[in-house]
Amino acid sequence: MTTELSQIDPSKLRIDLYPTEVLRMKASPVAVDDGIDSSMRAIAERMIDLMRGADGIGLAAPQVGLPVRLFVAHVPADPEGEPDPSGLAISTEAPQVFFNPEIVEFSRDLEPYEEGCLSLPGINGEVNRPSTVTMRAIDLDGNEVEMKATGLLARCWQHEIDHLDGVLIIDKMTQMSRLKNRARIKSMEKAARR
């Protein structure tokens, strides 16, 4: 399925909730060979507004009904936090926009952390993820970038890229977290069938 981004009215974009079908689709690459045009920028801006309005730190295009490989992220620095001893990025100063992102390197360790998701309100669970990742993507200026992050920023990137592959936190939660959230998930599925 190809989505022509120039035909999208960004003002109509809303955050889709589970079990909306697009959340389970593998997203298509965005055609960026001719640069990032105004329609792509407008969609990214709208996604940033939606993310902020929902107090999120990341939002992937499938979460707003667009099956394309695009996500936005803003992980503000903890005012009382310390920089990571490795010197790697753990936060962002401003929202970031990434087209066609891919993780090109993972650390071997897995760290547990409780995650939530804007498409799964009220559902939080422990997810094990590599603590450090290197991501390659196209930025809002049309440049290919390669960035390395750790901590919550690395987790955010992995969570959003999972969305681009049709994977949700409920697929990756620990068994205990799945059991804890089972009733809420079933309730969302039932509500969608009405």
pLDDT at 98: 98
pLDDT at 135: 98
CA nearest to 170, candidates 24, 47, 68, 22: 24
- Please say if 115 is a catalytic residue: no
The number of distinct structural domains making up the chain is: 1
- Three-class SS state of 92: coil
Length of the chain: 194
Joined together, the tokens standing for residue 75 give 């992980």
* C-alpha–C-alpha distance, residues 188 and 169, integer Å: 15
Average pLDDT, consecutive stretches of 10 residues, N- to C-terminus, the chain (194 residues): 76 97 97 90 97 98 98 93 88 97 97 98 97 97 96 97 98 97 96 88
* C-alpha–C-alpha distance, residues 103 and 8, integer Å: 28
pLDDT at 110: 96
pLDDT at 49: 98
Residue 17, domain CATH: 3.90.45.10
- Three-class SS state of 165: coil
Cα–Cα separations (whole angstroms), residue 72 to 1, 41, 153, 155, 176: 22, 11, 12, 13, 30
pLDDT at 2: 47
Give the range of the structural domain holding residue 145, as residue numbers without chain letter: 5-193
pLDDT at 3: 61
* C-alpha–C-alpha distance, residues 124 and 180, integer Å: 9
Q: What is the DSSP letter of 7?
A: G
Which of the following is catalytic: 4, 105, 111, 160? 160
pLDDT at 1: 39
